[in-house]
Amino acid sequence: MMAEKHKSLYQDLSTNHQPLPIITAFAFWKIIKFTNLFMLIERVRQFMLFLSFIGAFLLTVRFGAKGFIASVFTEIIKFYLFGYHLLAESLVVYPLMFLAGVLGEYAFLNINNKWLRLDGYTFGFCIFWVAFNLLPAWPFLLFSAVLFIYLRYKMLKQASVLDVLSSFFIPTIILFTTVNFFSWFQEAVVNNLKYFLPYEATLTAQSYFSFLIYPFLSLQGLNQVIARYYLLLLIPVIISAAIILFKSQRKIRTGVIFLLFYFLLIFLNLRITTLNIGFYTAFHVLPPVSYFKE
């Protein structure tokens, strides 16, 4: 409708979702040619495969074998979680994996390498991309940004945030030259806080507990694909954490960092408390699954 009727997002068209998935779909609609519904479906899947290839390539360039292996695990499960549909959750997969990879490298490997400066710009842009794709990820992004700045300060011994801020705010300003800021704020922020959150916040104490132990729910649902996949990820993560903790000279500090990373994972999933892959839950768990792998 935006393409054909020249309607303005959030002013003429009302939605409580973030603008980047809609703008991406608009660009796809204008650029990609198709003649029928079946070709449209095929083109969407090809487009998402292309984006996945770019994301996997960049992740491999940055993290080497670790990035490649994480990308392979991602592509294995994406089909089951609607990862090849043009959805906000699908668009943020590789940026989230980059954020997780950089934070993990800085926290546990403490490498002052050639990527240090470029990481700041890329990190800021990934924050922008995820933030304006996926509103529920904002708590995760806030804590991730604070942790990144702290870890890099420990490595550089000086405060350096200009690259992160510039790579976040410049595309944000460009975005709001095409989208009315006040209309966006009303539709995508205020309306969610006023209407959607109270509707969703009808959870029991058991539901909140399920959020906290979500990755471990796989132990009681191994008859499901997503549960077996989570368990496949969980085992090497636990083994790696145990090895790092055992070798660490500062076990308390290392344990605290592990807890921080675990709670970052929990912050990425504040909606789904079950492990089934029904239509609603499937694509909503794609971001935390992607973060978990990296």
pLDDT digits (tens, 9 = 90+) for 251-268: 777 777 777 877 777 777
| CA pair distance 45, 269, nearest whole angstrom | 25
Report yes or no: 107 and 151 within 8 Å, Cβ to Cβ.
Answer: yes
| pLDDT for the residue 255 | 79
Q: What SS3 string covers 175-186?
A: HHHHCCHHHHHH
* Range ranked top by mean pLDDT from 109-118, 132-141, 236-245, 256-265: 132-141
Question: What is the structure's pLDDT at 29?
Answer: 85
Q: 223 versus 8: which is more confidently predicted? A: 8
Q: What residues does 13 pair with on adjacent strands? A: 9
Under the banding of pLDDT at 50, 70 and 90, the label for residue 128 is very high
- Name residues whose C-beta falls within 8 Å of residue 238's C-beta, 6 or more positions apart in sequence: none
Scanning the structure block, which residue is given the tokens 């807890």? 259
User: What residue segments make up the domains of the chain, in order of their start?
Assistant: 2-179+204-293
CA dist., res. 208 & res. 194, Å (int): 21
Please provide the DSSP assignment of the chain as one string.
-HHHH-PPBTTTB--SS-HHHHHHHHHHHHHS--SSHHHHHHHHHHHHHHHHHHHHHHHHHHHTHHHHHHHHHHHHHHTTTTTTSS-HHHHTHHHHHHHHHHHHIIIII----TTHHHHHHHHHHHHHHHHTT-GGGHHHHHHHHHHHHHHHHHHHSS---HHHHHHHHHHHHHHHHHS-HHHHIIIIIIHIIIIIHHHH----HHHHHHHHTGGGGGGG-TTSHHHHHHHHHHHHHHHHHHHHHHH-S-HHHHHHHHHHHHHHHHHT-SS-------HHHHHHTHHHHHHHH-
Q: Write down the pLDDT at residue 292.
A: 56
Which pLDDT score is estimated for 54? 93
- Asked if residues 209 and 57 have their Cβ atoms less than 8 Å apart, the reply is no
Residue 216 vs residue 122, higher pLDDT: 122
The DSSP code sequence of 130-148 is HHTT-GGGHHHHHHHHHHH
The predicted pLDDT at position 20 comes to 92
Q: Which stretch of 29-33, 188-192, 260-264 has the lowest confidence by average pLDDT?
A: 260-264
pLDDT at 279: 47
